[in-house]
C-alpha cells in the first residue's frame, strides 16, 4: 500500500510539473539599448576571461618586478638585461590586457548595436510582408471575381494567384528570419531562446557633425587600441635591441635579427595606422551618403502617407475599392521600412565612426 501511494505521488508530481512547463509562456522583457549592452557584457564568457587575464598579468608583472634591482642602460650583463627585458615584456602584457578588455567591451557593444537594430528591422519586415499579403489576397479575390464574369483572362488570374502565393512565401520567410534574429540576440544578451524581448529604443536619426575630418582621424588614431599595441611593440623591440649583450655566449639570435624586429614592428604600426585611417574616412563618407538617402526616404514616407489618405477618402465616397486602400497601406509600410533601415544603418555607422576598431572586429 505504501509503495502504491509513493507511486501515485510521483506521478502527480511529474504531471503537475509537465503541465506547468507546457503552459509556460515565453518571457517578453522590455530592453533599452543600454540595458541590452550591459546584459551582453555580463553574459560574455570572453569578457569574464579577459578580466582574469588582467588580474593574472598584473601578478606576473609584480613577480618579475621584484627581480629587477635597477634599470640598465646600454649594453649590460645577460642576466640583468634578461630580467629587465622580461619585466618590460610583462608590463607591456599587463597594459595590453587592460586595453584588450576595453577593446573587447567595445566589440560586444558594437555587436549589440547591430543585432538590436537588426531585430527592429526584422520586425518591420514582417509588418511589410503582412501588408503585402493582405493586399495580394484582396487582389486575388478581385481577380477571381473578374475572371468569373469574363472581365479578366486566364493569364491575369494566374498572375494574381502567383502574386498572392509569393506574398505568402515572403511572409513565412520574414517570420523565419525574425525567429533567427531573436535567437542570435537572445544568445548575445543571455536570454532563453524562446524569449521575445520588447525593444524599447528606436534609432534616433541625428546628422553627424564634426569640425574637421582630419582632426577626427587624428583623434581616433590617438585612442585606437590596435594602433597603441603596435606602437608598444616597437618600443619593446627597441629596448631589446638596446640591451643586446654582444659578450654573452648564450645568445640565440644575432644583433641584425633584433634590428629587423624593430623594422618589422615599425612597419606594423604604419600599416595598422593606415588601415584605421582609411576606415575612419570610409565610414564618414558612408554616413554622409546615408544622411542624403534618409532625406529621400523621408519624402517617400510623406508621399505614401498622402497617397493613403487620398485612397481612404476616395474609398469612403465610393471612388476607390478596398484593394486600392490596401495597396496604399502596403506602399506606406514599405516606405516606413526603408526609413527604418536607413536609421538603423546610420546609428550603427555613427557608433562605428567613434570606435572604428570595434566595427572592424565585429
Domains annotated for the chain, with CATH where assigned, are: 44-191+200-246+257-361 (1.20.1600.10)
Q: What number of other Cβ atoms are within 10 A of residue 204's Cβ? A: 8
Look at strands 198-199 and 30-31 and give their pairing.
parallel
Radius of gyration of the chain (CA): 31
Task: Give the residue-averaged pLDDT of 157-177.
Answer: 97
DSSP one-letter code for 204: P
What is the model's pLDDT at position 48?
97
Per DSSP, the three-state class of 31 is strand
Residue 58 pLDDT greater than 50, yes or no: yes
Of 359, 34, 25, the closest CA to residue 199 belongs to 34
Element (H, E) at 351: helix 322-354
Confidence of residue 77 (pLDDT cuts 50, 70, 90): low
pLDDT tens string 211-223? 999 999 999 999 9
* DSSP state string for 136-165: HHHHHHHHHHHHHTTSS-HHHHHHHHHHHH
pLDDT tens string 262-301? 999 999 999 999 999 999 999 999 999 999 999 999 999 9
> What phi and psi, each to the nearest 5 degrees, are found at residue 256?
-60, -35
Instruction: Enter the pTM of the model.
Output: 0.85
Residue 203 pLDDT greater than 70, yes or no: yes
What is the model's pLDDT at position 307?
98
> What phi and psi, each to the nearest 5 degrees, are found at residue 199?
-85, 120
DSSP one-letter code for 318: T
The CA-atom distances, in angstroms, between 226 and each of 2, 53, 155, 204, 286 are 71, 18, 62, 30, 23
Of 158, 103, 104, 160, the closest CA to residue 137 belongs to 160
Residues paired with residue 31 on neighbouring β-strands, in sequence order: 199
Confidence of residue 25 (pLDDT cuts 50, 70, 90): low
Tally the residues of the chain.
362
Confidence of residue 68 (pLDDT cuts 50, 70, 90): confident
Q: In whole angstroms, what separates CA 260 from the centre of its chain?
A: 39
Amino acid at each position: 500500500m505504501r509503495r502504491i501511494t509513493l507511486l501515485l505521488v510521483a506521478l502527480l508530481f511529474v504531471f503537475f510539473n509537465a503541465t506547468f512547463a507546457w503552459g509556460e509562456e515565453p518571457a517578453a522583457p522590455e530592453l533599452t539599448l543600454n540595458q541590452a549592452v550591459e546584459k551582453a557584457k555580463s553574459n560574455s564568457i570572453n569578457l569574464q576571461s579577459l578580466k582574469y587575464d588582467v588580474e593574472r598579468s598584473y601578478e606576473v608583472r609584480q613577480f618579475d618586478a621584484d627581480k629587477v634591482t635597477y634599470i640598465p642602460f646600454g649594453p649590460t650583463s645577460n642576466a640583468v638585461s634578461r630580467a629587465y627585458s622580461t619585466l618590460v615584456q610583462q608590463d607591456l602584457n599587463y597594459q595590453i590586457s587592460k586595453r584588450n578588455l576595453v577593446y573587447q567591451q567595445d566589440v560586444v557593444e558594437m555587436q549589440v548595436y547591430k543585432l538590436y537594430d537588426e531585430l527592429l528591422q526584422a520586425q518591420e519586415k514582417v509588418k511589410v510582408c503582412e501588408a503585402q499579403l493582405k493586399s495580394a489576397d484582396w487582389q486575388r479575390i478581385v481577380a477571381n471575381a473578374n475572371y468569373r464574369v469574363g472581365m479578366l483572362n486566364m493569364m491575369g488570374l494566374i498572375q494574381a494567384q502567383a502574386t498572392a502565393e509569393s506574398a505568402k512565401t515572403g511572409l513565412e520567410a520574414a517570420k523565419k528570419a525574425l525567429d533567427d534574429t531573436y535567437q542570435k540576440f537572445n544568445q548575445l544578451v543571455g536570454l532563453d531562446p524562446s524569449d521575445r524581448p520588447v525593444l524599447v529604443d528606436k534609432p534616433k536619426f541625428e546628422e553627424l557633425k564634426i569640425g574637421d575630418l582630419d582632426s577626427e582621424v587624428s583623434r581616433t588614431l590617438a585612442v585606437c587600441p590596435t594602433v597603441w599595441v603596435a606602437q608598444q611593440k616597437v618600443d619593446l623591440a627597441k629596448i631589446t635591441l638596446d640591451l643586446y649583450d654582444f659578450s654573452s655566449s648564450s645568445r640565440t639570435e644575432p644583433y641584425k635579427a633584433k634590428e629587423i624586429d624593430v623594422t618589422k614592428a615599425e612597419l606594423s604600426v604604419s600599416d595598422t595606422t593606415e588601415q584605421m585611417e582609411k576606415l575612419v574616412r570610409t565610414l564618414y563618407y558612408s554616413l554622409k551618403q546615408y544622411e542624403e538617402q534618409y532625406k529621400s526616404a523621408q519624402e517617400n514616407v510623406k508621399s505614401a502617407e498622402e497617397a493613403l489618405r487620398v485612397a481612404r477618402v476616395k474609398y469612403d465616397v465610393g471612388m476607390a475599392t478596398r484593394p486600392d486602400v490596401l495597396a496604399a497601406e502596403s506602399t506606406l509600410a514599405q516606405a516606413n521600412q526603408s526609413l527604418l533601415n536607413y536609421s538603423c544603418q546610420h546609428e550603427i555607422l555613427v557608433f562605428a565612426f567613434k570606435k572604428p576598431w570595434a566595427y572592424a572586429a565585429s
